[in-house]
Amino acid sequence: MASTVHPPDAHGGVILDGMKQGDEYNATFPDSEKQDEKARPEYQDTFGDEEFAEVKYKVLSWWQCGFLMVAETVSLGILSLPAVVAALGLAPSIVLLLGLGLLATYTGYTIGQFRWRYPHIQSMADAGEVLMGSFGREFLGTGQLLLVIFIMASHILTFTVAMNTITEHGTCSIVFGVVGLVISYILCIPRTSAKVSYLSVASFISVFSAVMIVMVGVGIQRPWQGGIQATVDTSLYKAFLAVCNIVFSFSGHVAFFGFMSELKDPKEYPKSLFLLQGLDVCLYIVTSVVIYYYAGQNVTSPALGSASPVVRKVAYGIALPTIIIGGVVNGHVACKYVYVRIFRNSDRMHKKDLVATGSWVLLMLALWIVAWIIAEAIPVFNNLLSLVASLFASWFTYGLSATFWLYLNKDRLFSSPRKIFLTILNVLIFAIAGCICGLGLYVSGRALHEDSSTASFSCANNA
């Protein structure tokens, strides 16, 4: 039987079906470049052999994985992008959306290459251990968990805003927050990503419908009668706040290792990645340009505020599934990281007994309670979220992916013109991540300093 050719790995080689584990790496190098077999450690797949397991994790098809990535990446943040166009001008915004989207596609593919080489990786912590040992594991693991919990909290907060808008502040905002907490927790109880993937399809339909309603609403209402500006005069502070919104709209990479570890065939990961990037780049550009065209310089963030009160309520109602499910997917990623770390060296995670199931249920409850406390306690939450995202998302999306490629190719960075080009590209990507992190921390810190909100655990209307 002929072997099936899979996608090229980081070194330009290919991997063939029928090989024993550990042979993949050998196939990526010519004989002159192979390393000593004894010096190379063996890496086992995250979940091992699941043929007789009670709970099977590696059952995701590529399209299920793709929609999980869409739900985790594309949420109501898409409606902040029209205000980005107003802040930067039409031409720079389109260039940045397209350029950073293409760059995110490349860095996402590099994550796949790294995982093909080290099949035991399930999280950024595992990748950090490969790069920097135990320190790297703890540092990147903490960063991943912190970022994802804050994203969970942002979805609870957005749920309260939506409910206050729909009901015209029908009750205390804390009550809406608790309702969001309970719904999110219940939907997170299934242990495998495959079961959450069906919710992800509903999430995409939800956000797509909400975006269409807003575009049609502002197109009919036409609240802006002025001209469209290709470029605008702005300051570094305002411009980079807008750039941060674009960067964060592509910041789903923190969960890619986890999704890839549950694929039936990890070599199909590029299909999932291209599904995500094709949808998000097209949606981001079309939505931001169309809404800006009709709402103009007065467009609000989120753009729902630019529509009429009735359209706003309808759009928020349609968007409720994506508000909830986007948080659910991130909650699943956070709990799976902790759960796998606890039970990695045992078969407990594949069981349905009281310890295995109870541990998952209690871990998930604890994480959602922490997220709810953060959402209610921090008065300037959006600015603090930007601060955390600047510190971590810039590296998880761009900088670390460049590091992964440089690590994989450390012995042949200048071995050919193609390698020289890719080496320069990845060094530039690393530098871009550093700039995003540094400037992002500056503008987020300034925004925190200038915001005087103090409504911790408040019943007030936050719509």
| Domain boundaries, given as residue ranges, for the chain | 56-379
**Residue range 275-300: average pLDDT?**
92
pLDDT value of position 43: 60
pLDDT value of position 22: 40
Name the phi and psi angles at 229, rounded to 5: -100, 120
Contact of 397 with 391, CB cutoff 8 Å:
no
In sequence order, which residues have a C-beta less than 8 Å from that of residue 275 and are 6 or more positions away?
62, 63, 66, 67, 69, 70
**Residue range 332-342: average pLDDT?**
95
Q: How far apart are the first and last CA of the chain?
A: 62
Express each pLDDT in 375-413 by its tens digit: 988 767 667 777 877 888 899 999 999 999 999 999 999
- Distance (Å, rounded) from C-alpha 463 to C-alpha 446? 24
- Distance (Å, rounded) from C-alpha 313 to C-alpha 177? 18
**Domain 56-379, CATH:** 1.10.4160.10
pLDDT at residue 25 above 60? no
To the nearest whole number, what is the mean pLDDT of the chain?
A: 86
DSSP code at position 172: -
Q: Residue 306 — pLDDT band, cuts 50, 70, 90?
A: confident
Between 248 and 330, the higher pLDDT residue: 330
pLDDT value of position 379: 67
Q: Residue 224 — pLDDT band, cuts 50, 70, 90?
A: confident
Threshold 0.75, pTM exceeds: yes
- Distance (Å, rounded) from C-alpha 418 to C-alpha 108? 20
Structure tokens of 390?
């600047």
pLDDT at residue 34 above 50? no
- Distance (Å, rounded) from C-alpha 64 to C-alpha 16? 24
Instruction: Indicate the helix (H) or strand (E) that contains 102.
Output: helix 90-117
